[in-house]
Amino acid sequence: MLEEYEKAFAKYRKGLKTIPLPIICWDFHSIKNLELLSFDVIQKNWNGKISFLKIVNNEKKDIIVTDKNFKIIFATKSIVAMTGYQAEEIMGKSPKIFQGILTSETTKTNIRQAITNKLPFKEVIVNYKKDGSTYLCEIEAIPKFDKKGEFLNYIAFERIAS
């Protein structure tokens, strides 16, 4: 009986015509989930967690996370709307990539002092898009530490200032 089933199944499979499709065409809804997973991996050692979905969906802010050396290790995909850069383009770079000649020295000094002292800060800064145009960016940044109090990352919540 099993032999008959296997023969019938083999005959059935031969008659099928399949067309391969790229996975992205029917998996596009999972992009936010992938961002959420990436973000959760980064924050797994933090002392105190951040609600990714609340920040991105409810507060409409982009998230940028830097490592101990202040190089970008995570950015929401929606960062492109504000900066013109794809998230992948800014990985491994300093957030200074967004600064330029019109960026206030006072604001840069305030941010530098907060970062040096590993303190939270909130500033509005003139940033530059990939195409060279400027925008006012509201940045709220928080240092993140592990359970032992060791500095791990800075997380910045950003949006275009009104």
Regarding predicted confidence, which is higher, 23 or 112? 112
pTM across the whole model: 0.68
Does the pLDDT of residue 52 top 60, yes or no? no
Q: Would you list the domain boundaries of the chain?
A: 50-162
pLDDT band at 128 (very low <50, low <70, confident <90, very high): very high
Regarding predicted confidence, which is higher, 84 or 23? 84
Q: What residues have CB less than 8 Å from 94, skipping those under 6 apart? A: 66, 70, 71, 72
| The predicted structure's pLDDT at residue 150 | 86
The answer to whether 65 and 154 are in contact (CB under 8 A) is: yes
Tokens encoding 111: 């941010």
Tens digits of residue pLDDT in 141-150? 988 888 888 8
Residue 13, phi-psi category: left (phi > 0), alpha (psi -120 to 50), beta (remainder): alpha
What is the C-alpha separation between 12 and 20, in angstroms, rounded?
18
Question: Cα-Cα-Cα-Cα dihedral of 124, 85, 65, 28, to 10°?
Answer: 120
CATH number for the domain running over 50-162 = 3.30.450.20
Q: Mean pLDDT for the chain?
A: 80
The answer to whether 150 and 39 are in contact (CB under 8 A) is: no
DSSP state of 117: T
Does the pLDDT of residue 34 top 70, yes or no? no
Tens digits of residue pLDDT in 60-79? 778 888 988 999 988 888 88
